[in-house]
Amino acid sequence: MKTVLVYLPLEPRHREKLEAAGAGCRFLYTLPGEDVDALLPQAEIIIGNVPPAKLNKAEKLELMQLNSSGAAEYAAPGVLRPGVRLVNATGAYGRSVAEHALAATLMLQKNLHLYRDSQRQARWTDFGKVGSIAGSVVAVVGLGDIGLRYARMAKALGAYTIGLKRRAGERPEGVDELRRTDELMEVLTRADVVASFLPGTKDTEHLYTLEHFKAMKDSAIFLNCGRGNAVDGQVLYEALSKGLIAAASVDVTDPEPLPESSPLWGLDNLLLTPHVSGGYHLYETFETIIDIASKNLAAYLSGGELVNIVDFATGYRK
């Protein structure tokens, strides 16, 4: 009998689903933010993002199912004991984050952020010419589940899509052109929209430098719905305040929450949201997390194949 620790805000039907998948297991439940220290030494399977710093107490741990797509901090050396299987929730956040990014794209192209600001000040102002996603070149940096969904929606609206990923491979449906991430600089010179969905790893930290923004069109739009540390806040501020690019939308910042003293708050050409594109804001997201966790739990107990296995060497799903 395995002991399963669930670190998620469940409703009764979620418990029923997990317990059906883990028939015969002993289940321990707690909520994120609550003290979990006393439960960790008993846990052989964990479902939910228990803080990495606490996992040294999970001496019996065999399987860790994350409720996030990002896994880098759990894949870092020394966080989990050797032999522990790590799986993430890739597939749960795709629709929510991709739709948020698409909405931000259209909002910036049509100057809707500026009109909203004018409405607050009761100003009847025409902000002039707008862009269109149809016929635009959209570069999607990070072609995982979220990035691919965004690319497919942009293409459906008439964009030419360029997907960038670490390794070359078969070009997926919805992507007109597939390039490697190390070709980013050349792609930036062509893009009207640059949408970043990169996970947080040592290779992606501060990936976008001022030189990258200088390479972009001054009419281009930049979006970041991956991790905030992909671009330094001061670099983004310079790019926007100096007109190196036309506008940006970021759902993630470094640090989070963004300090009140940050100059980013005052930029008219920045749409800033407080890391809300994902989370559980869309109903189906949490339901999909429970589906993934249930399937992996049943598969692990029966010796079946797990989904969303994380590669400890890269922090990405294999």
Q: Which residues contact 200 (CB under 8 A, 6 or more apart)?
A: 70, 72, 73, 226, 227, 229, 230, 315
- 120 part of the active site: no
Choose the catalytic residue: 100, 149, 179, 227.
Answer: 227
Please, what is the end-to-end C-alpha distance for the chain in angstroms?
29
What tokens were used for 91? 């597939």
Choose the catalytic residue: 152, 190, 275, 287.
Answer: 275
- 287 part of the active site: no
What tokens were used for 58? 């999970």
From residue 140, alpha-carbon distances to 149, 151, 239, 269 in Å are 10, 7, 19, 21
Contact present, 140 and 153 (Cβ < 8 Å): no
Question: Pick from 241, 206, 202, 243: which is nearest to 224 by CA?
Answer: 206
What tokens were used for 41? 């030494």
Torsion angle, CA of 199/205/210/211, rounded to 10 degrees?
A: -80
Choose the catalytic residue: 59, 256, 284, 305.
Answer: 256
Angle at 258 between CA 206 and CA 204, to 5 degrees: 15
What tokens were used for 188? 């930036």
What's the order of all strands across the beta sheet hosting 45-47? 26-30, 3-7, 45-47, 63-65, 85-87
What residues act catalytically? 227, 256, 275
